[in-house]
Amino acid sequence: MQRKITKWAVMAGALMVVAVAPVYAAEQAAVQKDTKICLNCHKAEPGQMRAEFDSVAMKSQSIQLKIDSRSEVVRFDSKTLQVNNGAVPGDLEKTLRAIKKGHQVRIVYVEKDGVKNISLLSIKPPLNFPPEKVLKTADVEKMVVLGPDKGNYLLVDSRPAPKFMEGAIPTAINIPFPSFKQMTDRLPGDKNTLLVFYCAGITCPLSPNSAKASEALGYRNVKVYLDGTPEWTRKNYTVVTPQGLKEVWMDKELSFILLDLRPAPEAGQGAIKGAVSVPAANLVTALKSFPPKELKPPVIVYDDRGGDTAAKAARELMAAGYTNAKVLTGGIAAWKLAGLPIATETVATTVSYVPKPKPGTISLDEFRKVAQAPAGAVIVDVRTAEECKDGMIKGAINIPSDEIARRLEELPKDKLIITECPTGTRAEMAYTILKEKGYQIKFLDAKVAVNEDGTFELERN
């Protein structure tokens, strides 16, 4: 019997970023169990955690949460777990599976033997804000086309500076809400100017809080784009500053495609390191040889000065299904003006993209090699014992993911542990637990089908 695989231009040509230390910095060490963004409005409470939802495994009754860059796995009892603001009341599985990755949640838990068992999962609902003060995507699109001067507005991104530098709505400036009081000099002198604030979507309080703070200062025309970046990026490109491109994308070695849209002779005289020369006139044709759009590669484009050429190219990318398109504000001229380096070596002309794997993953090829010669490694099948009756990979051992924390003595610390399951979800949860316990650990992020004779098939997620 086999486990079945299922298929599954910008204000004055520039954006402003002001990095101000968050007000919660002094508290950070004491509240690591909550995401930083939640600490703008809440204080840490015993037996509670505010985090971002990552994934759920119903068979092991486990939920993986993200606390900034850290992951944590918590357990629940499907018979007793209380869920607030669920999408499908009365159906726990559908309710949990309906929670979007990255959505903010609050849990109430009791910790025993190092395992957090939760009794309450509260899904953060959309924020209430006066409808007459809320703008929709179409309203913001019209504003951006006019620009701040003709439109007489100021668009403000209320998110922390690092998020702004990843990509922002064109014409926006950054005033992080935690630093709002220190940055009111960024606001216009005319209190009748239209102020529009946005942040990370319908559950994010940063933009509504910024709007209220502006009204308290006497501004009379204040609106909020409540849907924020999640909705904007569904149909529109974002922009990155030279500082953002370097510090967030390059210095962190993120996987992305960088396109130089200038004529080939100009690109050949010097380009940004890592750029591929694809003249704007050739972009639509070049898209035929691009990496599959299903990989959702971030594509950052630039021209000479961040003008219409780059904006048009970004729109063409979006229309072709490359929905993570970004424009470098001010083009290569702004890059040079910022004193950033220009590469003089021959510029590439072929686009390639290698997605950066999740931390802790093992490649499919490496896993196959280990399975053939497992010396120095232990493969752990984290399905239930009942599931394993249908077949296990030769040489693997079975420890269900919900039992990992209390069966640590069965795992050697001098060997590499590799966890696997049918979809990679429970394998990643087991990885999170074992990594925290100090094990040499990797997990297989793939769909796995095992035959009764111990042979197996893999399909990349």
In-domain check, residue 221: no
The residue among 359, 358, 259, 355 whose CA lies nearest residue 316 is 259
Measured between alpha carbons, how far is 333 from 95 in angstroms, rounded to an integer? 50
* 333 and 368 within one domain: no
| Beta carbons of 291 and 317 less than 8 angstroms apart | no
In-domain check, residue 342: no
* 319 and 368 within one domain: no
Q: What does each C-alpha distance from 397 to 72, 234, 352, 380, 382 come to in angstroms?
A: 24, 43, 39, 5, 9
* 378 and 332 within one domain: no
Q: How far apart are the two ends of the chain, measured CA to CA in Å?
A: 22
* 451 and 369 within one domain: yes
Q: Which residues are CB-neighbours of 416 under 8 A, at least 6 positions away?
A: 370, 376, 377, 378, 440, 441, 442
Q: Which residues are CB-neighbours of 219 under 8 A, at least 6 positions away?
A: 187, 191, 193, 195
Select from 80, 100, 123 the last residue of a domain: 123
> What are 22-44's pLDDT values in tens digits?
333 333 344 456 777 676 677 77
> What are 330-386's pLDDT values in tens digits?
999 999 999 999 998 899 999 999 888 888 999 999 999 999 988 899 999 999 999
User: Is the confidence at residue 310, as pLDDT, over 60?
Assistant: yes
pTM of the model: 0.79
* 327 and 377 within one domain: no
Q: What does each C-alpha distance from 276 to 119, 295, 337 come to in angstroms?
A: 52, 18, 21
Which CATH number does the domain housing residue 113 bear? 2.40.50.320
pLDDT of amino acid 278: 98
In-domain check, residue 382: yes
What band does 416 get if pLDDT is binned at 50, 70 and 90?
very high
Which CATH number does the domain housing residue 298 bear? 3.40.250.10
The residue among 164, 169, 217 whose CA lies nearest residue 196 is 169
pLDDT of amino acid 444: 97
Task: List the domain range (segments joined by +) for residue 111.
Answer: 45-123
Please count the structural domains in the chain: 3
